[in-house]
Structure 1
Amino acid sequence: MFNQWLQLQLPLSLVLLALLCARPWLLQRLGALTLYRLWALVPAVLLVAMLPDLNWLQAPAMQSYQVLAKQLSNTVREVQLMPYLWALGVLAFVVLLLVQQWQLRQVLQQGSAYPAQSGVKALQHEARVGPMLTGLIDPVIILPAGFASRFSPLQQQQMIRHELVHWQRRDPWFNLLGYSLLALSWFNPLCWLALYAFRQDQELSCDAQVLAAADTPQRIAYAEAFLKNAADSNTFQPGAGWLCSTTYYGAKNQMKQRLTELKQHKPVRQSAVMAAVLLVSTLAFGWQQQLYAAVDKAEPAAPIHRVEPKYPVQAAQQGISGYVQAKFDINPDGSVSNIVITKSVPEATFDKVSLTALAQWRYQASATGVKGATVQLDYMLDEAP
């Protein structure tokens, strides 16, 4: 899996770099609602990049290996540490998220009941954390201490509406997807920057959606509530950074940008989003298929794990040499299957040992594998030049 995911890092990095560089311009020209939807380019490009090879080109050229009578058995192995390091990083990331999730459970257990909001359960916490939405299936709105006394009824309404919009859009699920991609690509710095920008754009677009039809008093109340909540919030703010199943209302580091965006409203341009997704997906598909074609035309890679056939004792004693030609498929995980002996000289002398050895060969993992790979095993009494 590591090798397949590593191959996806180039298209993933290109689309992330494009979004990060164009983000200020897109926000100014198209607005937060459209910008947030443009992050759909990331899963679209990944899905296209994982499509199989549709070129159906000729099988790679035949490779040839010598099998000597004096060499009974020799195993060639290539130890790869990177997959284990990658898996260790993914595990550490998951453990960190679980710890953060445990901290969130403590917050939920300490909360006191608050009237449900539009069918969504609400809690009030003793500390000034929130408002925030948590939960993938059973959503909960966590409200800060003194919520009713610190904020006016209009401010309360707007702040709760913000969290309800997150739930209506299923933002916690999109956050889970983003953190899952980051867990798999923890070694890619662009993914860290992109997730931070994605969470910012999520809040900006939620602000824009809440205030889409708001009048001036509602906009003022919303801005005042945001400033007051950001100033009063505690340092520990679950959902402001790590937790994938939360959305957070008043992160201080977004204050200036969010206040600027509150002054304007740009409707979502769905046609621009669809055109961008279609264009980028088409370019990614064309690039991916050309890459497959280049790989198919290239010299086939040597096996990373090769078991040498055992030279038959009787053939060695009688001074018999020869060769075997075999055809097989290389699976995406690098294993070998569907082995067929296409030609053997002398007939049937070296077939059994060849099939036994080839079944244990391993190649580099790939996205699609190889159909119809061929190999020739030359059985020789002495090594040829």
Structure 2
Amino acid sequence: MPGVLTYVTLGLALVLAWRKPARRMFGAGPAFTLWLLPPLLTMLPWLPTLPATWATTPTLLVLPATAAFGALSMSAASPLRWPLLLWLIGTLACLLRLTMHYERLLRQSHQLPADMLCVLQADLGDLDPRRLWLHPAGPAVLWAPQSRVLLPADFLDRFDADERRLVLQHESMHLRRGDALWSLLAELAAALLWFHPLAWFALPRLRLDQELACDERVLHQSPQDTARYARTLLHSTGQNTAPALIPWLAEPQLKERLSMIQHRRPGILRRQIGFVCLTAIMAGSVFFAQATTPPAPDQQATADVGYNTQFQPRYPADAVKNRQEGTVVLSVLVGTDGTPRKIEAERGSNAAPSLIAAASEAAAQWRFSPGTKGGKPVESHARVPVKFSLDPLPPAPPHASPNS
């Protein structure tokens, strides 16, 4: 996960830095496409959870004053076990919350009354009447297998005829743009990144950019409605943002949306240039990430266990005296000849300095089978967990007698 998080963080930081300049230069629509950058970086096949050139050997057990030097199960001492479990619990909790909120919205939705639908029929345009549902949280779009437009029961009283037309035009534009699906993907990404503060900082800004892009599209189609559109927003009641829902107006968005409406919007040519330029920027970022990531070998580096047992780590006497235990995770850069070129202890190693020194000293004499690329040996990495324990080895199971 460290490698993936690095690129997710980089992608979010770049979007947050570029979104406003891109909006001023090219418009809200092209600027919204920048939000594709974080998932593009995340889904690159050459960016796995751990660097592709790193292989983890079984854990090596070191006991005091003995020749014991054995391999334990890698999963038993994996430094990633508890963080991954904590991440999984948090993700499941976020997904459960999202599912419960979505199910409650569906349960509280009702079909639009026939008399209300009759009044709105002239303002629907190409909007399918079956997409219209009643819900107190409306006007809003609810993502679903077939996205719904939610309207409040007092929709006819709250908005006049022109305002109703503009609200329905806005919500219909959300459906045509596929914003309901993008909102779902954003909510799922936030659930996966629940521990990442930048993800929660970015989510409301993605929602704002989505609304600005939708407003811009509506006003490009109906420039004569600019002033009326602004008045409709001013007369609307803001709602709190909620999972699974795209409200007509969220509380913090009014100022930004009115500012975009009042300023002159880029023309079609400038917007098209913006799409091309921003696509090129994102492609360049992806190619740069690919170029700076070492190529994965066809075969990973592996330890020569038979040879390495001749150079087992020695349990330092002072560590035995002070009752010091712990696991040292060594990161070994393996040369093309199989010898260690560089040895470092990972930051997660929970061991005393003397134990780290003992493990590193022994590792300097070890041998590995280097990774290969195209059948040729290449420099590669190996992770070697070394566990220093003061507890004796468990007794060997008794051998069954021939007569049993």
- Above 0.5 in TM-score? yes
Q: Give the counterpart letter for 1:78 in structure 2.
A: A
Q: Give the counterpart letter for 2:280 in structure 1.
A: A
Q: Which aligned pairs between 1:77-156 and structure 2 lie closer than 5 A? A: 77-78=76-77, 80-109=81-110, 112=113, 114-115=116-117, 117=124, 118-123=127-132, 125=134, 127=136, 129-156=137-164
- Counterpart position of 1:188: 196
TM-score, normalised on structure 2? 0.62
The counterpart of 1:229, out of the listed 236, 240, 260, is 236
Secondary structure of residue in 1 paired with 2:141: strand
Q: Which aligned pairs between 1:1-40 and structure 2 lie closer than 5 A? A: 5-40=1-36
User: Residue 103 of structure 1: CA displacement?
Assistant: 2.4
User: Residue 301 of structure 1: CA displacement?
Assistant: 9.3
Asked whether 1:265 is paired with 2:265, we answer yes
Higher relative contact order (CA 8 A, sep 6+): 1
User: Residue 43 of structure 1: CA displacement?
Assistant: 1.5
RMSD (Å), alpha carbons: 4.2
Cα distance 1:274–1:108, how it changes in 2: closer, same or farther (>3 A)? same
Asked whether 1:203 is paired with 2:203, we answer no
User: Residue 21 of structure 1: CA displacement?
Assistant: 2.5
Tell me, in whole angstroms, the C-alpha distance in 2 between the residues paired with 1:85 and 1:66: 29
Judge conservation of contact 1:8–1:49 (CA < 8 Å) in 2: no
Asked whether 1:250 is paired with 2:249, we answer yes
Identity %: 23
- Counterpart position of 1:281: 286
Asked whether 1:168 is paired with 2:176, we answer yes
Q: Give the counterpart letter for 1:101 in structure 2.
A: Y
Structure 1 unmatched ranges of 5 or more: 305-324, 330-369, 375-385
Of 199-208 and 169-178, the range deviating more from structure 2: 169-178
Tell me, in whole angstroms, the C-alpha distance in 2 between the residues paired with 1:112 and 1:172: 24
- Counterpart position of 2:227: 220
Tell me, in whole angstroms, the C-alpha distance in 2 between the residues paired with 1:86 and 1:152: 49
User: Residue 167 of structure 1: CA displacement?
Assistant: 1.0
Structure 2 unmatched ranges of 5 or more: 301-330, 335-341, 349-366, 372-379, 385-404
User: Residue 70 of structure 1: CA displacement?
Assistant: 7.8
Secondary structure of residue in 1 paired with 2:231: helix
Judge conservation of contact 1:59–1:296 (CA < 8 Å) in 2: no
CA displacement 1:117-158 (0-9 Å, x = unmatched): 42252445364x321111332222111232223323222111
User: Residue 186 of structure 1: CA displacement?
Assistant: 0.9
Cα distance 1:262–1:70, how it changes in 2: closer, same or farther (>3 A)? closer
Secondary structure of residue in 2 paired with 1:289: coil
CA displacement 1:209-258 (0-9 Å, x = unmatched): 11013233x1122112222222xx5x6x5xx2322xx3221112110110
Tell me, in whole angstroms, the C-alpha distance in 2 between the residues paired with 1:27 and 1:258: 12
TM-score, normalised on structure 1? 0.65
Cα distance 1:60–1:130, how it changes in 2: closer, same or farther (>3 A)? closer
